[in-house]
Amino acid sequence: MFSVPKNKQILVIFVFLACTTFAAFWQVSHCDFIVYDDPKYVTENVHIHHGITIQAIRWALTTGHCSNWHPVTWISHMLDVQLFGLNSRWHHLTNLLFHIANTLLLFFVFHRMTKARWKSAFVAALFALHPLHVESVAWVAERKDVLSTFFWMLTMGAYIYYVEHPRFRSYLAVFTFLALGLMAKPMLVTLPFVLLLLDYWPLGRMQGARSTEREAGGAKQNTGVVQEALSANKKKGKSGKKLASGSSPGQTSRGVKLEEKTPADKYQWVLLRPLLLEKIPLFALAAISSIVTFVVQAKGGSVTSLEGIAPCVRITNAFVSYIISQICCGLY
């Protein structure tokens, strides 16, 4: 029976994902700018109209325009205007190209971690065609979404490489991609926690060498207890093959109970601590981004005090909004 080599299968998956995603979203090339946020971001933003300039980059790095601090997103819009002017077709196609790249990177990352080709391809295809991504691709002002996702995927890919090759240069790539992603959209503040989840599965770093050494040390200690007990029995003239009367299985003649190791022993603080410590710079980035975002949105009037909207109203609104969003997703 004819079989396709694995490398060719992966290439076919890449081509299939790219073509399928393009076919699903190619209509955006006929879309125009809309009146919601597109004027503030592109069409009426005088800082964007001149393309990439020193003054424009300085503005991008210091502005809180639209109650957001995302200089990488502003620079991407400047680059689009530099290349294509205000032709909406190419602004939309840039969003689509980012979405295709994100889909391919997602497949690459999951396949690299799990070695499961077809499951990874299914996850990437579901990501590519999910209706919730339509807004991000078909709305120019949502460039920050596809752009930050691009850096999210690059951060995960760099992190996998760092796990395989733990050196400073590899870690610097993780740090850099995360910083760029936060400067595209601060939603990446949760990514360091996601990396911890990846440590548990599928990377399995919580069952690494330290766990093996700990198990070996525990086994050696238990062996020493048994030998000591048997030696004591021989001195008393008893058979070394029998335990003292009244001893239960798993107990020595001296009443020392042998500990049975369980899988839970592998996931102790001694294993988690180094994984947390290595992510302190990433958590610091996320904390700084959170503070900057709060300050910028407060200055922009996007933050309301507790006196303005009571906590009970906020909680109720969260539940209602969640239910409505789920109903809308079910309808579409």
- pLDDT tens digits along 296-313: 999 888 777 777 788 888
Residue 243: phi, psi to the nearest 5? -90, 165
Does 330 share its domain with 235? no
**Per-residue model confidence (pLDDT) at position 305:** 74
Q: Are residues 31 and 102 in the same domain?
A: yes
Q: Are residues 154 and 19 in the same domain?
A: yes
Output the six-digit token pair for 118. 């077809």
Residue 185 in contact with residue 150, Cβ under 8 Å?
A: no
Say whether both 215 and 197 belong to one domain.
no
Same domain, 188 and 322: no
Integer Cα distance of 267 and 269 in angstroms = 7
Both 102 and 126 in a single domain? yes
In a domain, 319, yes or no: yes
> Is the residue at 188 inside a domain?
yes
Q: Which residue has the higher pLDDT, 262 or 278?
A: 278
Is 1 contained in some domain?
no
How does residue 331 score in pLDDT terms, banded at 50, 70 and 90? low
State how many domains the chain has. Answer: 3
With respect to residue 112, please indicate whether it lies within any of the assigned structural domains.
yes
Task: Check: pTM over 0.85? Answer yes or no.
Answer: no
Asked if 161 and 107 sit in the same domain, the reply is: yes
Do 143 and 12 belong to one domain?
Answer: yes
Q: What is the mean pLDDT of the chain?
A: 85
Establish whether the linkage from the previous residue to 202 is cis, with ω within 30° of 0: yes
pLDDT tens for each residue of 31-82: 999 999 999 999 999 999 999 999 999 999 999 999 999 999 999 999 999 9
Question: Residue 4: its pLDDT value, please?
Answer: 57
316 and 176 co-located in one domain: no
Does 153 share its domain with 237? no
Do 197 and 236 lie in a common domain? no
The verdict on residue 238 lying in a domain is: yes
Structural domain containing residue 320: 308-332
